Structure 1
């Protein structure tokens, strides 16, 4: 064997060895500086609360400070875009809702980022089922009764949402369309004002978070019809899902979610390390309890599981957005 061939074979072997040890070495040396978790919404909301909980638990294990940076604006677009354009080293992450990571791509004519090109999905932390709630004047206590009530009152009912293209809008539009109810959509600039108008009777129906709706349900100010998704929620275990009540459409079985993503070229080993740390933090008893109290269902998935969920849900959300007719610039 010639010396030149021998050198080439050694070079190939060394390259292969480097690939084999490179990934673990990257994960072991990470992080090398403070980590920034961008929350693309205002402070005080559920996403912000969850980010701060996880940061508090992860920082000691990672040996670096974790800073939560609220970059609110444009339905989560501003903060998500900042992370999409950040250095892909695992030190800048986004913890966001499914709107900025999934549905916005169907709602907006132009986005400054492409989720599937510019970001890598790290972990789906929790799903966020919503409650279908109505004003007490609505003569219905179950999902089938509500559908009949909507059909009998064609053109007379209004439903609220906390933004065009948000799940409460898409699900309400689906209900109105399938029942030919001709309901009026009333978008609000947040969930709290939506809830106040529901209590006051200005709207008759809404999909709302357990965090916002439960106190008013307990006080008898609104009625709960059912919960979206595949499972009942811990804070209201006696409330059946809409699917249990016969509403089998995919529109009622999907839920929003809270998840973490990183810039696209972040090394796979680093992405895996972040996912592992997120799972370890979210499974601590006090964090699990807080997630359940907010009406969420813990997921803490792997990057692969999250990617599979994303791929499965993508066409469902695309159809719901198209059905609603929502389009934003």
Structure 2
């Protein structure tokens, strides 16, 4: 009986390995849980083109927006665990949604497999220099205290990273400010330039052109390092704000359904890591102020585990939770 069990196990391993060796043998679908036309969609489509050439099979991008990204994420969580349906997403439906909504139709760590973080982007805190006469973050805090209750900050949506960071900055510095959420970052930036809101936190890629032409003034960036696009803008930590709440950065990542064979996950991870180093992907990242990552699945999981409690605190503090 023992020999039969060993032989059966060996047969399963061999058949699994052989199946993985033939992967992919048909088209793969990248599910993007957001609408076409945005940064995530563009990154996913370029990634699909690069990986399709490398893997020798078509890769279809299927946009499934809705419910703050939960619709598409749930779709992948319930898909067959064969590596032919994968999720390409921002961190929002993975990190934010579970703490924002009472009912989330999936458990990230139970229902999904971590493949790789594709790229990362940083946030920058900026002001309208015509409305806010400051040059540094410390001057801004002092000036804001003199105008307590009269200032408004913009974000690109309730529960977005810009909302969470803006709320934390206001609360931790004991400032009374009004949150003005927008349906998209371009609208937020437009109103920052127009003076409808005094300050805001946005992505480096979107903000950088307006910072360079002087319409907006950058006071600090979030994260552990200065972005290449804004080498003269210090991090919050450099300015004396070392709190971990200022460390999280946005990222895009690939995940698969739970129980996908390890060999298939390894193949997907290898392909993502190779793809992000190509000229095509680097050019796409540059457009949106993103930077290549290509983490291992283990690195992805560790980062997720470290960031989740910080995100939970930020959401609780911001009042963005919707029951």
Normalised-by-shorter TM-score class: over 0.9
Q: Give me the whole-angstrom Cα distance separating, in 2, the residues matched to 1:21 and 1:68.
A: 32
Matched, 1:244 2:273: no
Specify the alignment match of 2:128 in structure 1: 135
Q: Aligned residue for 1:107?
A: 100
TM-score, normalised to structure 1, is 0.93
Q: Is the 8 A contact 1:153 1:181 kept in 2?
A: no
Q: Is the partner of 1:111 in helix, strand or coil?
A: coil
List 4+ stretches of structure 1 deviating above 4 A. Answer: none
Matched, 1:219 2:219: no
- Partner in structure 2 of residue 24 of structure 1: 17
Q: Mean Cα displacement is larger for which, 286-295 or 182-191?
A: 286-295
Describe the superposition over 1:206-254 as per-residue Cα deviations: whole angstroms up to 9, x where unpaired.
1111222122112211111121111111222222222222211111111
Following superposition, the deviation at residue 32 of structure 1 comes to 2.2
Larger Rg: 1
Question: Which of 297, 317, 321 is the equivalent residue of 1:323?
Answer: 317
Shift of 1:278: 0.7
Aligned to 2:189: 195
Q: Structure 2 unaligned runs (5+)?
A: none
Partner of 2:88: 95
Matching of residue 169 in structure 1 with residue 135 in structure 2: no
- How far apart, CA to CA, are the structure 2 residues paired with 1:180 and 1:298? 36
Matched, 1:12 2:12: no
The alignment status of 1:45 with 2:59, answered yes or no, reads no
Gapped runs of 5+ residues in structure 1?
Answer: 1-7
For 1:316 and 1:145, locate their aligned partners in 2 and report how far apart those are by CA, in whole Å: 27
Q: CA deviation at 1:50?
A: 0.8
Cα drift, residue 69 of structure 1: 1.1
TM-score by length of 2: 0.95
Deviations 1:69-114 (A, max 9, x none): 1111222111111111111111111111111111110001111222
Partner of 2:226: 232
Displacement of 1:149: 2.2
Q: Which segment drifts farther, 106-115 or 13-22?
A: 13-22
Q: Tell me the CA shift for residue 307 of structure 1.
A: 0.5
